[in-house]
Structure 1
Amino acid sequence: MEIASIYKKFEACASVSTDTRKINKNDMYFALKGANFDGNKFVNKAFESGAKYCVVDDKNAVINDSCILVDDVLSTLQSLANYHRKTINTPIISLTGSNGKTTTKELIRAVLSTTFKVNATKGNLNNHIGVPLTLLSFTKDLDFGIVEMGANHQKEIEFLCNIAEPDFGLITNFGKAHLEGFGGEEGVIKGKSELYDYIKVNKKIAFINSDDTKQVKQISNYQNIITFGKAKENDCTVEFKSADPFVNLNYKNIEIESQLIGDYNYGNIAVAVAIGQHFNVPSENIKNAIESYQPNNNRSEIIHRGSTKIILDAYNANPTSMLAALKNLKQLNAEHKYLFLGDMFELGKEAEKEHQAIANLTEDNFDENIFLVGENFYKTTTKSSTKKFKSFEDLKPLLKSLDLSNSTILIKGSRGMALERILEFL
């Protein structure tokens, strides 16, 4: 069946779903396949749950006239998303980067939503499946759609750009993330810059942090840009004031007091300000939106437990974000500081070197109360005062015995380490 014909059926549906456990009445179900599952086997369940149509790529899954047989369900989902994007023609703002994507997306959404009707990527649905699902959730009455793009190898951002066809693009930063898939730090820069490549070829607009020399270099001599940063020569000037513990900024002589910790969040806030300015969002609306935004989902959350302050940043970690978190903790005024650091994943052959570098940096800046968790950190060479654990299970007995009152605690590690479990013992 042609995409145009499938699209007519999609228009008659409430939404789309790839999970029979989450289907709502009149959804279009896409029977995706993976290494350990085959959505074609759940067509009966989909219809029982209220699906209006089921898109399948196994002829044996066709059980009635409401089944749509295609060559490949995933590519059909992606093609349908692109067709929908062209049909509704909503302006799309896309962003990628090594760190801070989701926080930046939520800040942009908060700013623009004060003045416009906006929808954005939910959670971190930012890959080859998540981006199509995001696009298909957009409606023609939107003023803007915000699409977060994640990647861990070359050509992935290029592929996502060809589906989403962004009108505006930005990169939060280039950092040491997914080094294994990208093939090193230069590979990360090349891979993430595929967004800028799309912007340049299609004569769209890029928002550029002029304080980030790597970004300025990657956009080269392209003229269709909106610059932001600390310098007065920028299209949008945002002055950094302080970060102890929250980031404070000055924009058009208006003080903005965010609820985000660490000066590494300056750029994330500044681009949201710049986008708001570009689309004529009133300055007071920009201020209110940023000041009201609270991080969640283990991303730089501040949690108070009596006299103990916890910086929970356990959603993900890589050498760049780990360095930023340590720098921020070093700057904070606190009687006692504790560090619980978990392994950083997807570093490939760089894993040993990068974990040792973080261990060294930690010991150079903090005299005590250092706890390293995970197989990579366990292999590092450290001082006798640094405590290392192969796993969270090995750490648990010690947690029960610690007195962490009157302390500031940093908890940071990759998602697979799930270090937020430490909270159960505090």
Structure 2
Amino acid sequence: MTTEQLHTLFLRYPVICTDTRKITPNCLFFALKGDNFDGNAYAADAIKKGASYAIIEDRQFASSEKNILVADVLSTLQQLAKFHREYCNAKVIGLTGSNGKTTTKELITAVLSKKYKTIATKGNLNNHIGVPLTLLSITPETEIAIVEMGANHAQEIAFLCQLAKPDYGYITNFGKAHLEGFGSEEGVIMAKSELYDYLFANNKFVFFNADDTIQASRLNLVTSKLGFSAHPGPHLPIKILGADPYVSLEVRELPIESKLVGRYNFTNCSAAVLIGDYFKVPLTDIKIALENYIPQNNRSQIIQKTSFKIVLDAYNANPTSMKAALENFQELKSARKIAFLGDMFELGNAAEKEHQEIANLAAKMDFDQVFLIGENFYKTTTDLHKYKSFDQLAKSIGNISTEEATILIKGSRGMALERLVALL
């Protein structure tokens, strides 16, 4: 079956499923394979649960006429998504960066949805599987699609751009993330800039943070661009009014009070303002969208308890975002401050150095207590409290006084530090 023929079938059954636990009637089941599972083995179950067809690559599971045999299921899914993206008329905004991708994506979506029929990446499904699924969620009515692109190795963004073919692009920042795969900070910059490379080569449009020296230098000779800046000049001026605890900003004398914690979220909000303004969303609607956005999924959330307050930012962490979180936490007004910091993953050979630097930074700050959790932090040389595992910390949690405190919880996803909320 050709991609065009499969696309004709997809137009009849426009729901894709890759998990038999989430089968919906008349969907197309793609039998993807992973390190610990083989979707081909579940094809018959998918059909039994209501899938119209199952796309498989293992002939031994081709037990009915509802099985479509292909050479490679993942490649077939990706090529179908590419075909569908070209078939639809929606404008695509590509989004990548080291930190803040998902929050920025959700803010842009909230703003553009005020005027346009908009779809966006769900959650952080931003990889070689998630991007195709996002593209296949575009409908004939969709006007703008915001596609988040993640990567931990070179050429991944370049590949995703070939699928999504973005008309516009925005890079949140370049930070110390996934150093294990990228090798160095320069490797991060080169890899994330693959979005720029695609946009430049295809005469597409770039949104950018004019105050980010790396972005500004890389876009110096580009004419199809639009930037924002916290300083007067040729770019859209956006002023930060404060961040204690929530970020507030001002655009054309209109104040916007977000519900996002952290000065670092100023640029995320600013990007949404810039892009909304470019697409002629009224500024009053931009204000409503940003002020009504409430963060979830352990990202920049404030949780008010009876006698203390938690700043929960435990979705993920890398040295750049950890430093930003600590600096923001230092600025908050509070009688007492306690920080729980979990290991940062995927740093490769830089892990020892980066964890020591964060431990040193935290030790210099005026916090009442700092607790380091995880094998990497446990190896650091510091007088701060250290625990080799979350379970070790949990055994001691009853001895920690939280009365009248503001508590920061920050760590990589694998640390699952949100478990602390219930324990505290």
TM over 0.5: yes
| 1:367 to partner: Cα distance | 5.0
Distance in 2 of aligned mates of 1:230 and 1:360 = 30
Instruction: Name the TM-score, length of structure 1 as normaliser.
Output: 0.98
| 1:34 to partner: Cα distance | 1.0
Distance in 2 of aligned mates of 1:367 and 1:76 = 53
Aligned to 2:213: 213
| AA at the equivalent of 1:118 | T
| 1:115 to partner: Cα distance | 1.1
Asked whether the 8 Å contact 1:375–1:390 carries over to 2, the reply is: yes
Aligned to 1:388: 386
| 1:214 to partner: Cα distance | 0.6
Asked whether the 8 Å contact 1:210–1:234 carries over to 2, the reply is: no
| AA at the equivalent of 1:422 | L
Distance in 1 of aligned mates of 2:40 and 2:26 = 18
Aligned to 2:199: 199
Q: Equivalences for 1:284-363 in 2 at 5 Å?
A: 284-363=284-363
* 2:73 is the counterpart of 1:73: yes
Q: Deviations over 1:351-403 (max 9, x none)?
A: 000000000000011353110000000000002xx210000000012112322
Asked whether the 8 Å contact 1:300–1:311 carries over to 2, the reply is: yes
Distance in 1 of aligned mates of 2:234 and 2:34 = 46
| AA at the equivalent of 2:422 | E
Question: After alignment, is 201-210 or 212-221 more displaced?
Answer: 212-221
Asked whether the 8 Å contact 2:338–2:367 carries over to 1, the reply is: no
Distance in 2 of aligned mates of 1:170 and 1:234 = 18
Q: Deviations over 1:85-137 (max 9, x none)?
A: 00012100110000000000000000011111111000010000000001101
**C-alpha root-mean-square deviation of aligned residues, in Å?**
0.9
Distance in 2 of aligned mates of 1:52 and 1:11 = 12
Equivalenced residue count is 424
Aligned to 1:38: 38
Distance in 2 of aligned mates of 1:389 and 1:366 = 21
Asked whether the 8 Å contact 1:314–1:411 carries over to 2, the reply is: yes
| AA at the equivalent of 2:417 | L
Aligned to 1:415: 413
| 1:65 to partner: Cα distance | 1.4
Distance in 1 of aligned mates of 2:52 and 2:295 = 37
Distance in 1 of aligned mates of 2:368 and 2:277 = 45
Asked whether the 8 Å contact 1:370–1:387 carries over to 2, the reply is: yes
Aligned to 2:20: 20
| AA at the equivalent of 2:323 | L
Structure 1 ranges of 4+ moved more than 3 A: none
| AA at the equivalent of 2:9 | K
Question: After alignment, is 227-236 or 306-315 more displaced?
Answer: 227-236
Aligned to 2:238: 238
| Unaligned 5+ runs, structure 2 | none
| 1:263 to partner: Cα distance | 1.1
Q: Deviations over 1:62-104 (max 9, x none)?
A: 1111211111000000000000000012100110000000000
Asked whether the 8 Å contact 1:14–1:25 carries over to 2, the reply is: no
| 1:141 to partner: Cα distance | 0.6
Distance in 1 of aligned mates of 2:401 and 2:249 = 36
Asked whether the 8 Å contact 1:378–1:388 carries over to 2, the reply is: yes
| AA at the equivalent of 1:397 | K
Per the alignment, in what secondary structure is the counterpart of residue 323 of structure 1?
A: helix
CA distance 1:410–1:29, shift in 2 (3 Å)? same
Asked whether the 8 Å contact 1:182–1:188 carries over to 2, the reply is: yes
| AA at the equivalent of 2:16 | V
| AA at the equivalent of 1:353 | K
Question: After alignment, is 229-238 or 98-107 more displaced?
Answer: 229-238
Percent sequence identity over matched residues?
54
Asked whether the 8 Å contact 2:338–2:405 carries over to 1, the reply is: yes
Distance in 2 of aligned mates of 1:328 and 1:341 = 14
Per the alignment, in what secondary structure is the counterpart of residue 264 of structure 2?
A: helix
| Unaligned 5+ runs, structure 1 | none
Aligned to 1:158: 158
CA distance 1:61–1:251, shift in 2 (3 Å)? same
Per the alignment, in what secondary structure is the counterpart of residue 419 of structure 1?
A: coil
Distance in 2 of aligned mates of 1:367 and 1:282 = 42
Instruction: Name the TM-score, length of structure 2 as normaliser.
Output: 0.99
| AA at the equivalent of 1:227 | G
Aligned to 2:113: 113
Per the alignment, in what secondary structure is the counterpart of residue 274 of structure 2?
A: helix
Per the alignment, in what secondary structure is the counterpart of residue 238 of structure 1?
A: strand
Aligned to 1:377: 377
Q: Deviations over 1:17-50 (max 9, x none)?
A: 1101101000000000111111110011100110
Aligned to 1:262: 262
Asked whether the 8 Å contact 2:339–2:369 carries over to 1, the reply is: yes
